[in-house]
Amino acid sequence: MVLEKIREAAERVARSEGLEIVDVEWKVGRERFLRVYIDRVPDAVTDFGADNNGDSAELDGSEALEGGSIQASATAAKPAYAKISHTDCERVSQQLSVILDVEELIPGAAGYTLEVSSPGMDRALTKPEHFTRFVGRLAKITTSEPVGEAKFFEGRLAGFAEGNVRMTLKGKEGRTVELPLQMIRKANLVVEF
């Protein structure tokens, strides 16, 4: 199985629905599990609201045939984008499941579980445009190697430029650091109330 081909199929489906793929995860344990996170394309936003609500839809893959640069205010505390609905997840799940089976992108007779979900309130930040879209939001970033003397950073996103994520760290000083994108192991928004 090639995860990149699955990602390409998921992106085709998402684009047809005016959505984008945030991330694709494949896990093998007692079951084979494929999770796809979807979100609204910022330019396609029509219903502004709070963070995504975490809706998701599951479809067992073995039963599939049966069944740019975003401008953001650095002072914005919450993103202005539409929620992913259960219906969005269900549509993408059904279409992607058919493609996965027809194109035989997941080999083997054993079934798999496909889950399509919103990225949630503590969404992962995986693409350069995410760091621009969520400028002003609180985030946690872990790097694979120390930047300065640290591998863990928490603060407000301040943008993305020249391959670096800019972040204003929490604290009295509020100093700004630049973290090379290729060194970021994990980045997530922090839920604020």
- Same domain for 134 and 157, yes or no, is yes
Collapsing DSSP states into helix, strand and coil, what is residue 164? Answer: strand
> Which pLDDT value is given to residue 8?
95
Average pLDDT over residues 56-63: 41
- Same domain for 152 and 103, yes or no, is no
Read off the pLDDT of residues 63-97 as tens digits, 9 standing for 90 and up.
333 333 333 333 334 444 568 899 999 999 999 99
Contact status, residue 32 vs residue 110, Cβ threshold 8 Å: yes
152: pLDDT strictly greater than 90? yes
> Which pLDDT value is given to residue 107?
77
| CATH value at residue 158 | 2.30.30.180
- Same domain for 33 and 91, yes or no, is yes
Closest CA to 117 of 39, 37, 189: 37
Q: Domain residues for 36? A: 3-117
47: pLDDT strictly greater than 60? no
> Which pLDDT value is given to residue 71?
34
Is position 102 within any domain? Answer: yes
- Same domain for 63 and 140, yes or no, is no
Reported as a pLDDT band with limits 50, 70 and 90, residue 173 is confident
Residue that the structure tokens 């445009």 belong to: 129
Is position 58 within any domain? Answer: yes
- Same domain for 16 and 58, yes or no, is yes
Is position 25 within any domain? Answer: yes
- Same domain for 105 and 176, yes or no, is no
User: Could you count the other beta carbons within 10 Å of the beta carbon of residue 85?
Assistant: 15
Question: Number of structural domains, the chain?
Answer: 2
Instruction: Give the number of C-alpha atoms closer than 13 A to the C-alpha of residue 21, restricted to the C-beta side.
Output: 22
Q: How far is CA 5 from CA 24, 96, 131, 137, 173, in A?
A: 11, 12, 25, 32, 45
* Percent of the chain predicted with pLDDT > 90: 56
Runs of H (alpha helix) within the chain: 3-16, 86-102, 128-133
Contact status, residue 117 vs residue 56, Cβ threshold 8 Å: yes
49: pLDDT strictly greater than 60? no
Q: How far is CA 181 from CA 17, 58, 158, 159, 166, in A?
A: 29, 32, 14, 12, 10
> Which pLDDT value is given to residue 72?
37
Q: In the listed set 117, 152, 172, which residue is the last one of a domain according to the structure? A: 117
Read off the pLDDT of residues 92-115 as tens digits, 9 standing for 90 and up.
999 999 999 999 898 777 789 999
Q: In the listed set 117, 140, 158, which residue is the last one of a domain according to the structure? A: 117
> Which pLDDT value is given to residue 28?
85
